[in-house]
Amino acid sequence: MRTNEAFITPSVLEWAIKRAGVSAESIHKKAEQWVSGKARPTFKQAVDIAKTLQIPFGYLWLKEPPKEQEIIPDLRTIGNGGLAQIPLELKTVVNDVKQKQEWFKEYAKTNGILKCEAIGRFKGSDDTQEIADDVTARLEIQDLVGSGCDKDRMLKNLIEKIEKLGILVMRNSILRGNTKKKLNLDTFRGFAIFDEFAPLIFINTNDSKAGQIFTLMHEVAHLWIGQSGISDSDIRENNKIELACNEIAAKILMPKTKIQKAFREFDDDRWLECIADRFSVSTLAVLNRLRSLSLLALRRYQELYNAELERLSRIPKTRPSGAPPPEVMVRVRNGYLFTFVVTSSVLSGDETYTNGASLLGFKNTDLINKVAKEIRS
């Protein structure tokens, strides 16, 4: 017997391979022997297996496969295309944020924080305009929408107002801090997890700012109608809830009277881009809203939409230059509300530095103090 053998549980390895949707051979040429129990990996190979299959290293020593969260949050995919199965990266992101949500929920209950009153007050079958009006009023964004605010500022303002109601907003573009593993936009743009004490929204920041803004309000709509998720991830264009949430988001960001006025006001060649800039949304979102209000005939709408798709496809994608300091990135990814509460718990001694750092997604415990200082500045 080799002393560096890792005595992992074969059934757990088999579960992890199936969960990842890969073959044993793709993991290692000896993986089938490890699954059958005829051989064991080395300790280093076990470490590599856990990284490849995106599971905690300790899982490999469990007596049996763990039971993961069965509720997969509502998710928006590009084009509302269906997903035959939940991709591994999405499972990983969901599990990560669920752990944060559970921690915050326990914190809220322990510290007497009341339930979030704004959410779950409507049903998916309720009038979408009524829901949009309620969101607008509770977030106090009547003057913000259609103000011509640049998209970066608009996104920041919306998130601040949403968090003030007790809703967690988290954002990221990569998986578990790995810059080589970008979250795929073809998989999802964002999701919402309904909870009375810890409602949560996650946004994939690989999307454009306009896309992030629309997704943010789409997920807000889900929380308003009490939607924590769907039974499966097969989202189709005839999904009534999805279409309703898109409609609510559009009505929030592009109120009828304001968009009608803008449509009459701009008449030059750049009218579509000017309207999009005024409402901090994409040009395609504007076209959809104009069509819904019968301001564009169907044929004209189709012509403009196809032409805009072609124009957008020719625009080269640019990457943001440089990254903010780590303490700022931590706040952006975890949101102000979650970051503030975690650092407060650490500084008060209610939570350890190690657990606080783990919750916020980093290993260097010394960074806690910098994060706490930055978020309170």
Same domain, yes or no: 47 and 141: no
Residues 335 and 360: their CA atoms lie apart, in Å, by 10
Are residues 32 and 135 both part of a single domain? no
Say yes or no: 152 and 193 in one domain: yes
Same domain? For 96 and 19 the reply is no
Q: Is the same domain home to 212 and 122?
A: yes
Task: Give the pTM.
Answer: 0.83
Tell me how far CA of residue 143 lies from CA of 146, 252, 254, 276, 279, in angstroms: 7, 12, 12, 16, 11
**Judgement on whether residues 139 and 163 belong to the same structural domain of the protein:** yes
**Based on the domain organization, do 53 and 82 belong to the same domain?**
no
Last residue of a domain, one of 253, 285, 315: 253
* pLDDT tens per residue across all 377 residues of the chain: 455 788 899 999 999 888 877 888 888 888 899 999 999 999 889 888 988 888 888 889 888 888 765 544 444 444 444 444 667 778 888 888 988 999 999 999 999 988 999 999 999 899 999 999 999 999 999 999 999 999 999 999 999 999 999 999 999 998 877 778 888 888 888 999 999 999 999 999 999 999 999 999 999 999 999 986 432 334 445 578 888 999 999 999 999 999 999 999 998 889 999 999 999 999 999 999 999 999 999 999 999 999 999 999 998 877 666 678 999 999 999 999 999 999 999 999 999 999 999 999 988 888 999 999 999 88
Domain membership of residue 198 (yes or no) is yes
H or E stretch at 76: strand 74-76
- Total count of domains within the chain: 3
Phi and psi angles of residue 269, each rounded to the nearest 5 degrees, phi first: -65, -25
Residues 56 and 119 placed together within one structural domain of the fold: no
| Domain span holding position 24 | 10-61
d(CA 240, CA 125): 9
